Amino acid sequence: DTAVSQTPKYLVTQMGNDKSIKCEQNLGHDTMYWYKQDSKKFLKIMFSYNNKELIINETVPNRFSPKSPDKAHLNLHINSLELGDSAVYFCASSLGLAGEQETQYFGPGTRLLVL
């Protein structure tokens, strides 16, 4: 009965490769997010989608492309991976965008290591 799930949990890959991380939530939420946590554990939002529509894009390189096939899924595709992309990527979801609906619930994270 996992609320927000991510696959894979770990991802080790070579520079220049293309990879995807998948996120699914079974909470019936309308809004989903991607955050990046760097090696110093600093968390920063990358994207958010509401009802499959992009609402936040925090100056993330074009190599990162989120895709939301439906409200329950938000996938993150990364092209031409660089060493600096090594981080933990967290997916989150919230009921909506107003008031207490904004409470965000996080997935377990995907640990990406680029060699």
Q: Does 105 bind another protein (CB under 8 A)?
A: yes
Q: Does 1 bind another protein (CB under 8 A)?
A: no
Q: Does 18 bind another protein (CB under 8 A)?
A: no
Give the residue, chosen from 48, 60, 74, 81, that forms a contact with another protein under the rule CB under 8 A. Answer: 48
Question: In the complex with another protein, which residue's Cβ is closer, 40 or 83?
Answer: 40
Read off the tokens for 99: 């008031």
Give the residue, chosen from 45, 72, 73, 86, that forms a contact with another protein under the rule CB under 8 A. Answer: 45
- Spatial neighbors of 106 by CB under 8 A, at least 6 apart, are 4, 35, 90, 91, 92
**Interacting residue ranges for another protein, rule: CB under 8 A:** 4, 31, 33, 40-45, 48, 50, 55-56, 58, 90, 92, 94, 97, 99-100, 102-109
